[in-house]
Amino acid sequence: NAGVMQNPRHLVRRRGQEARLRCSPMKGHSHVYWYRQLPEEGLKFMVYLQKENIIDESGMPKERFSAEFPKEGPSILRIQQVVRGDSAAYFCASSPFGQEFYEQYFGPGTRLTVT
Amino acid sequence: RKEVEQDPGPFNVPEGATVAFNCTYSNSASQSFFWYRQDCRKEPKLLMSVYSSGNEDGRFTAQLNRASQYISLLIRDSKLSDSATYLCVVNVNAGGTSYGKLTFGQGTILTVHP
DSSP H or E run through B56: strand B55-57
DSSP summary character for residue A81: S
B82, B74 contact by CB (below 8 A): no
| CB proximity B32 to A under 8 Å | yes
Contact assignment for A101 to B31 by CB distance below 8 Å: yes
> Strand B108-113 to strand B11-14: parallel, antiparallel, or no bridges (unpaired)?
parallel
* Amino acid, single-letter form, for residue A84: R
Cβ-defined contact of A42 to B41 (cutoff 8 Å) = no
**Is B40 within 8 Å of chain A by CB?**
no
Q: What residues of B are in contact with residue A41 (Cβ under 8 Å)?
A: 106
Element of type H or E holding A78: strand A75-79
Nearest to A108 among B31, B43, B100 (CB): B43
pLDDT at B64 over 90: yes
Helices (H), chain B: none
Residue B95 — very low, low, confident or very high, per pLDDT cuts 50/70/90?
Answer: low
Residue B56: Cβ within 10 Å count: 12
Does residue A77 carry a pLDDT above 70?
A: yes
Least Cα separation, residue B102 to chain A (angstroms): 7
Model confidence pLDDT, tens digit, residues B3-61:
899 988 899 999 999 999 999 999 887 778 999 999 998 999 999 999 888 899 999 99
Report the gap between the CA of B84 and the closest CA in chain A (Å): 14
Please answer whether residues A106 and A4 qualify as being in contact, where contact means their C-beta atoms are separated by less than 8 angstroms. Answer: yes
Rounded Cα–Cα distance for residues B8 and B47 (Å): 18
pLDDT computed for residue A34 by the predictor: 97
Q: Is the pLDDT of residue B98 over 60?
A: no
Model confidence at B79: pLDDT above 60: yes
pLDDT at B86: 97
Residues B43 and A89: their CA atoms lie apart, in Å, by 9
With 90 as the cut, is the pLDDT of residue A100 above it? no
**B96 has pLDDT over 70:** no
